[in-house]
Amino acid sequence: MESWKLHIPEGTQDYLIDECYNKEELEHRLTDLFHRWGYRSVETPIYEYYDVFSDSSKYRHQEEILKFVDRNGRIAALRPDMTVPVARMVATKMVSEPMPLRLCYCGDVFRYDELQAGRQRQFTQAGVELIGSTSVLADAEIIALAVTALKYAGLDNPHIVIGQVGVFKSIIEESGVDQPNAQRISRLIDQKNIPALAALLDEIDIDDNYKEILLGLPQWFGGLDILDKAKAMVKEPAVMAALDNIYGIYNALANWGMNDLISVDLSIIPDLNYYTGMVFNAFVAELGYSICGGGRYDNLLANFGTALPATGFAIGIKRLMLALERHGKLRPAPPCAYLIVYDESGMNKAFERAAQLRQQGFDVIAEALEDIGDATAYASERGIKNVLRFCKED
């Protein structure tokens, strides 16, 4: 039988010194930025009872959730995202807090996804949730903070693509398409697979007008003129309201000076079906997939007993690192500032000096001479510039 003790599971990663340094730096920088925007950190368990995620119509494909049975026979699940646990926490423990409530987090999530570039089965998300506001300005704040966070992390030109799931959901509701076919249609629209979409729509009993609209959705992307085109084709009040919502968000972002970074794509239909309104993804030119995404989810908290509107986003830390690497903006971990070498006679003074330097904010290695051999060579290999000796022969 083959031993797996020298391997790690597919979709996971060891972070070595330089990678771990850059990962921690990004997490700290993003969390600090979120705090300065008035968001406060929360933390949820790394696993929850499976019931939290079990409604596949609202969350994600159940085969993507990593499940296990605890010692009491209850099914638990490693969290597949951070938004659902935060929603559960707020709805059950924070409803007495003044609203709107601004929360942030940074933690690992787990999904049994198909492996591809930029996608892992264990990965870190940093993000925010703004709970208790239905305002278009809340959605605009979320997008503005996402742009600011990506720039603060070191990306010069992130591009934001905004959609509105209310457009698709309203069209589907008016057309009378059943839920299984609606899910198939949404997947093909999101993939912009027009030939397969056309073939599917030909199989479904649907009015030709709605067939034309759904077939056109994958091509409704670009500038604000796309919204005018959509309004000319679809007159349902719910669709008009969804399109006006994007206008409002765009105008608010223009006041942030971010309108040049924004485009519209009405075919964005995320896998996470709890979204109810605005959705967005953030891209950089060097990567073919988003590094940040989010949107409005006004019905999610009601699933846990408290109805509150909410909006938010999450940044994939690994994807952000890949983008920064291609920009040449990752750095090697800095070396320690001091190497202190000692023998038995100088041990007390060495420890005292090491403590003083550490209190002053320096990174210090204190190593016994008999364990380190040639201290100068060791320091040179580690990039350490300062070597202090507390040895009898010195």
Average pLDDT of every residue of the chain: 90
pLDDT (mean) for 303-309: 95
Distance CA(291)–CA(312), nearest Å, equals 15
Name which of 43, 73, 171, 118 is nearest 281 in CA terms. 118
Question: What share of the chain has pLDDT > 90, as a percent?
Answer: 61
| Residues 284, 287, 290, 291, CA torsion sign | negative
Distance CA(203)–CA(184), nearest Å, equals 12
Q: Which helix (H) or strand (E) holds 245?
A: helix 237-255
Q: What is the pLDDT of residues 117-141, one digit of tens each?
A: 556 889 999 999 999 999 999 999 9
Collapsing DSSP to helix, strand or coil, 191 comes out as: coil
Helix then strand then coil, in percent of the chain rounded to 5, is 45, 20, 35
pLDDT (mean) for 161-185: 87
Confidence at 78, pLDDT banded by 50, 70, 90: very high
pLDDT (mean) for 302-329: 94
* C-beta separation of 341 from 317 below 8 A: no
Residue type, 53: F
* C-beta separation of 309 from 298 below 8 A: yes
The total of other beta-carbon atoms located within 10 Å of residue 287's CB is 15
* C-beta separation of 125 from 27 below 8 A: no
Would you state the pLDDT for residue 223? 86
pLDDT (mean) for 312-328: 94
* Planar angle of CA 70, 76, 81, nearest 5 degrees: 150
Would you state the pLDDT for residue 57? 43
Q: What is the pLDDT of residues 183-236, one digit of tens each?
A: 888 888 888 888 888 888 888 888 888 888 888 888 888 888 888 888 888 878
Residues β-bridged to residue 345: none
